[in-house]
Amino acid sequence: MPVATADSLVHRLSGAADEARAAILAGGHHVVHGAPGTGKTTTALLTFTEWVRQDPGAAVLLVPTRRRAAAVRDQVSARLQRTTGAVLVRTPASLAFTILRLRASHLGEPAPTLVTGPEQDQALAELLAGHAEREGAPIGWPESVSRETLGLRAFRNELRDLLMRAAEAGLDGEGLTAWGERHHRPEWCAAGRVLTEYTQVMSLGQTTPDRGARYDAATIVDEAVLALRTWEDTVPDVPRPRWSLVLHDDYQDATLATARLLDTLVDDGARVAVFGDADLAVQQFRGGVPALLHTASLPPGRDGAWGATEHVLDDVHRHPAAVREAVTSLTASLPSMAETRRRRARAEPGDGRVRAVLLSTDAQQVAYIARHLREQHVHADVPWSQMAVVVRSGSLVGAVRRGLRTAGVPLAMATPDRPLRDEPAVRPLLVSLRCAITGDVTPEDAAALLVSPIGGMDAVGVRALRRALRQAERRRAGSGTPRTCSGSCSNPPFVASACVWRRTNCRRRGSLMAQLAQMARMVRSVRRPRTRGTRGSSNAWPFRRRTGRCPGPRGAQCPDRPAGADRGPRRTRWPGGHRGDSALGDLGDRRAQPHMATAGARRRGWWGPR
């Protein structure tokens, strides 16, 4: 919720919101239910800032995701109008990491590190590759999981989700195997053995004295819970970290591990208040448990139960009655989570309306939306910043965004709708690097490179190139059997001489292929080149990103280029690598994680020397 909108709602909050705020400040544990727009976040912000003004270091506001934490942190700073000595808004994993880092500093140990998602994906990819080659620990995958399946990225993602959910539920490898045997699921049994091997592999990173413990997002919260409960035994001379007030917004997306962390804080004397709407849960695929909102009001005795007092916000301030009626009709069919009064929230009268339009194609849909947005901006003076387009799934974001941008609708910068490795400006570069490292250019790779910004051809040009290659091969070998397209494309002089149908343009392509060959020689000769040694060399990086354009035809723009594409490449260091190591020298081992360096792209950059 934008700051201005939240501020404008303060004077319109219902009596139920004021009562909930007063009750939280008075003491006890509380759970606040409310439909969208009833002021849950605003109530949490007002309660939190009022407490922080009196006791700045004894309160923390938790939210499920980092993006949400950044937005709420800005709102808290705008309300306080001053700096603070501690981070007040965190995710549960961030709070857990702070606890573990504090304990490590008092024990004189190296600071812990958080294993990122790409690092997890890379470790699993290496384990599964070994399993496909019958190497490593015997896993015993069932017949339904073939050798080819083990190499699929989709299978690896599903396996990683299973392992992380098992870890959040408190299951180790043996526990997951036992669950598989109990429920006759051989896939779970095999996954349990993978989890055991994965845990052993990740523990190897802690054997060196200069590296601290390594935790992933699924286990770090439970590790913090264990650290708090054993604090007096491990660090007896240092008081454990304590918070007097803990608020959790969007609690419908909290996990069981988060509930156990709050249990520990409750046992330590903190008062806890959670806010949420079970109908808005969107993180269940990542372990979110919407039922925790109801569990919080139950008597203690299970995870997440504190006997909290329930409050229901029953006045909607964000949208008028017509929109509220549409929302009510949609949520009526959703499964109920014990508390349903929030669905009957009232809305203020207004001029809002809901209209359904049936169109034939996706292109017509985007064109209609763009025309409607322009009409509202021109004729109704609605600012662009006050308009929003909601799509059904994340897979549609890219197409709709590109369509609206083409139609002249300005868009706010958003996160990429796909991993960086799948961006049109990056994928061809990764394919070319893989071909250079492995020396294996398949027909599919050659065709993909030819129609990419590197090759700059279209389907018609590729067919013409095939004909030219066949003719040149017949003239060269005197045989009617041409070599494959990939084999011909790996010979730059042959490509340049064969392209008689567009001599100037294709000689430029031949020069590009020669740069590919140069890259291959550079990668094979030096496994891990020092970036400082190649700095300043114009030939060290053949495919240098140019400002605003990709390698290819003159004037070719990067299609839907990602944010930061106009910045030149900078030096980089892979997570876990040594200073000065080049990303290029290790790319062959890290194909599963080509987007790892984006987290620090603004500071360290990516893809080699400047």
**Binding-site residues for ATP, please?**
34-41
Burial class of residue 110 (count of CB atoms within 10 Å of its CB; 0-12, 13-18, 19+): middle
* β-pair partners for 216: 115
For residue 470 the two structure tokens come to: 């066949």
Q: Which residues are annotated as a binding site?
A: 34-41
- Cβ distance 584 to 608 under 8 Å? yes
As a whole number of angstroms, the distance between CA 260 and CA 304 comes to 6
Residue 84 DSSP code: -
Query: In whole angstroms, what separates CA 302 from the centre of its chain?
Result: 31
Cα dist. 197→186, 214, 292, 391, 590 in Å?
Answer: 17, 15, 32, 40, 20
The Cα 228–Cα 264 span in angstroms is: 8
User: Which pair of tokens denotes residue 134?
Assistant: 């019958």
- Three-state SS string across 554-599, please? CCCCCCCCCCCCCCCCCCCCCCCCCCCECCHHHHHHCCCCCCHHHH
Q: CA 568: distance to chain centroid?
A: 24
**Residue that has been written with the tokens 């803990």 in this structure:** 246
Residue 20 three-state SS: helix
What three-state secondary structure class fits 170? Answer: coil
Backbone angles phi, psi at 565, to 5 degrees: -70, -20
Helix (H) or strand (E) holding 4, with range, is helix 3-9
Tokens read off for 404: 């609206």
Question: How far apart (Å, rounded) are the C-alpha atoms in residues 389 and 421?
Answer: 26
Q: Dihedrals φ, ψ of 555, to 5°?
A: 85, 0
Strand partners, 214: 113
The 8-class DSSP code of residue 451 comes to T
> Phi/psi of residue 457, each to 5°?
-105, 165
